[in-house]
Amino acid sequence: MAKEALLIVDMSNDFVADDGTLTAGKPAQEIVPYIKELASRFLADGNVVVVTMDAHQPDDPHFELWPPHNIVHTKGQELYGELNEWYHENAGNPNLIYTPKTNYNAFFQTDLAETLKKLEVKKVHIVGVCTDICDFLTVAGADAEGFKTAIHKRGAATFTNLGETMIHHMKLCFHTEIIE
């Protein structure tokens, strides 16, 4: 039976907390309850939930473009607040997967596509931050791997004013379903 997957993108302390080094701040904090409820529903329905998270080394060349963030094994890389609690409460569920990433696109040089295909996932739903960067490029990666895509507007946030524009581009470029 075909399954669907929810990809929770970069909901770390560095991207969400007020004192995060590259934070989307309050807009990201406001989507946490929606993501938590949606993730619980996905697991309850026997679908897959993937927590995908930037995982950078301290000397990552990525930091020539951005302030240091999501450095492996730091508090900044941990899931934010209630999502971290939710993750640990559900850690024994075989349909809950953690995938570290070193690129904006969660499918780039990871085994995510292979893992989801083995689980017979046909459609991926995207939530998290940042709408115009990692969410957009993860949708592009999912599309390139042959998955249908959906973006949950109530579960996406960014620190720029490009969120709506990029959601529109997801629909135009990748036929992404927009879920209000």
pLDDT band at 2 (very low <50, low <70, confident <90, very high): low
Cβ atoms within 10 Å, residue 2: 9
Residue 1: pLDDT over 60: no
Q: What confidence score (pLDDT) does residue 125 get? A: 98
| Count of domains for the chain | 1
- Cα dist from 25 to 11, 30, 48, 166, 179, whole Å: 11, 9, 27, 19, 22
In tens, the pLDDT along 60-117 reads: 999 999 999 999 999 999 999 999 999 999 999 999 999 999 999 999 999 999 999 9
Instruction: Please report, for the domain that includes residue 49, its CATH number.
Output: 3.40.50.850
Token pair belonging to 95: 């349909």
If we measure between CA atoms, which residue out of 110, 104, 106, 100 comes closest to residue 79?
A: 100
Which residue range forms the structural domain that includes residue 77?
3-60+67-179
Mean pLDDT of 145-158: 97
